[in-house]
Amino acid sequence: MKPGPTRHIVAENLRRELEAQSLSMNEFASHAGVSRSQVYDVLAARKAPSVDWLQKVSEALKIEPWSLLKKGAKAAGKSGGKAKAKKKKK
């Protein structure tokens, strides 16, 4: 069976998030408690991550797991995925 596009979407979103948070792959792997080889394989779209792996990684990045699966997702960056609410002018 040929791999689908989801691997590439996850790879793009993870790469975008690592760049937005200024994390190297090695720093991130250590912080998230996952192996460097897993991170490299996912970023290269060689292997599909498990749901548990996505959960662990998203917790380390302080983002929602679904954001790694969404095509064209924007990186949360250093804010940890929490946008500031704008005050309404009266």
Query: Residue 25 is part of a domain; what is its CATH number?
Result: 1.10.260.40
- Asked if the structure places residue 19 within a domain, the reply is yes
Q: What is the pLDDT of residue 78?
A: 54
Q: What is the pLDDT of residue 48?
A: 92
**Domain limits at 19?**
6-69
CA 79, CA 90: separation in Å to the nearest integer? Answer: 27
Q: What is the pLDDT of residue 85?
A: 35
Domain count for the chain: 1
Average confidence (pLDDT) over 31-42: 96
- Asked if the structure places residue 25 within a domain, the reply is yes
- Asked if the structure places residue 80 within a domain, the reply is no
- Asked if the structure places residue 49 within a domain, the reply is yes
- Asked if the structure places residue 83 within a domain, the reply is no
Q: How many other C-beta atoms are found inside a 10 Å radius of the C-beta of residue 31?
A: 12
Is-contact 68 44, C-beta < 8 A?
no
Structure tokens at 33: 């408690």
Instruction: Give pTM, 2 decimals.
Output: 0.78
- In tens, the pLDDT along 45-88 reads 999 999 999 999 999 999 999 999 999 777 776 544 443 333 44
